[in-house]
Amino acid sequence: MSIDLKAALFAFLFLAFLFFLHRLYPPSKLPRIRFSNLSIFYGALPERRVRLYPIRRWLERAAFLLLLVSFTAPALLFKETKREEESLGAPTKGIQVAFLLDASGSMGGEVPTLTGGKASKLQLVKQLTYDLIEGSPELKLTGLQHDQIGLIAFARGVSVRAPMTMDREAVIDALKEVSLYSGVEEDGSSIGYAIYTTAEMITSSRHFAERLIQKGEKPPFTIEGAAIILMTDGFQNPNPLDQENIRSMDPLTAAKFCAKEGIKLFIMNVDPRSSSEEFLPFLHEMQKTALTTGGKFYSVSNTSALDDLYADLSEIEQTILPPSPKKKVVVAVKRVELLPWSLGAVLIFLVLSLLLKNWGLRSVP
């Protein structure tokens, strides 16, 4: 219950003043009829209207008291406890992870999946990329929730499907659109050129942040590290039309550029045949390419390869993750005003009193 204390004090003083006036100037007495003998009235019951007559006076008094109470602005207070999450904003530091997907014609072949079924190698690569970005409870992957992510597809040429961004949904949408390159002129596996182009994309975004710093401005996202995740089913195999141009750049040369720029390269081969004796020389070349940058080479034949990759990413990650949103307790007070109700009661009491006075309980005089 809540009232205006100043108004309550004023109402009390006003009531005391009226009581003082009543004692100082008592109301005049009503006219009376005197009888010499009242014995004839003994035992007679008063009429019903006489018994109800005090009701009119009580209604008037109640209306007066409610009017005084209304003057104090009465209200009921109800406490409501709420728990609200306090948002601490987006991360300001982190790493860049660029996914480099092989979309050459050979990626259309089928391989066993991690769940025991079969799918094309491109479908497997897209699912692995999705799991690493969004997370997978089954694979115990939490996802890249606080890092910049990019997506590039390649065959003979290189296509940037999503530049470095914090918008994971945009990257996932771009991932769904990746399909196989078809035709002799588009096919090939220019792995070295693809690695170099991806590294250039990462360094370009760094240079943008550096220019902001030179202007005295603070970049919205500070890059603390970078990694390229290459997913392929084979080894360097440029299109015959590109034997003497930049598309034929060997992976080791591109890896040296990555190492110079502080970019780690993680290579995932999704073709189980890559570990056979026939392909050992090429396998060693890809392993050396990854190790040159401080990264690793993985052969995805079971879920442990994904676990190892994610563990390595966690080691290089320097993201200052925002702490879990805090739950703050908010106690809200709901105020229900009683003034309309009290004034309504005053009006009702006065109307009833007037009705009784003029129709039901008239007095003489």
What is the per-residue pLDDT across 161-170, written as a single tens digit (0 to 9) for each? Answer: 999 888 889 9
Cα gap 271→125, rounded to integer Å: 11
Q: Shortest CA distance to 191 belongs to which of 244, 245, 252, 243? A: 252
Percentage of residues in the chain with pLDDT exceeding 70? 66
Answer whether residue 319 shows pLDDT above 50.
no
- How many C-beta atoms lie closer than 10 Å to residue 363's C-beta? 10
pLDDT for the residue 293: 93
Contacts with 132 (C-beta within 8 Å, 6 or more apart), sequence order: 99, 141, 143, 144, 229, 306, 309, 310
Cα gap 287→291, rounded to integer Å: 6
User: For 55-108, how does the pLDDT look when each residue is reduced to its tens digit (9 = 90+)?
Assistant: 777 777 777 777 777 767 777 776 766 655 444 455 567 788 999 999 988 888
Cα gap 6→14, rounded to integer Å: 12
Percentage of residues in the chain with pLDDT exceeding 90? 21
Answer whether residue 316 shows pLDDT above 60.
no
Please state the rounded mean pLDDT for residues 215-244.
80
Answer whether residue 137 shows pLDDT above 70.
yes
In the structure, what pLDDT confidence band is assigned to residue 324 with cuts at 50, 70 and 90?
Answer: very low
pLDDT for the residue 195: 95
Cα gap 117→154, rounded to integer Å: 26
pLDDT for the residue 323: 43
pLDDT for the residue 186: 78
Cα gap 282→264, rounded to integer Å: 20
Please state the rounded mean pLDDT for residues 252-264.
93
pLDDT for the residue 88: 47
Cα gap 67→195, rounded to integer Å: 85
Cα gap 108→355, rounded to integer Å: 95
Residue intervals in the chain for CATH 3.40.50.410 = 93-316
Q: Are 102 and 233 in contact (CB under 8 A)?
A: yes
- Angstrom distances, CA of residue 255 to CA of 133, 153, 160: 24, 18, 19
Cα gap 39→141, rounded to integer Å: 105
Lowest mean pLDDT among 82-91, 107-116, 220-229: 82-91
The answer as to CATH 3.40.50.300 being correct for domain 93-316 is: no
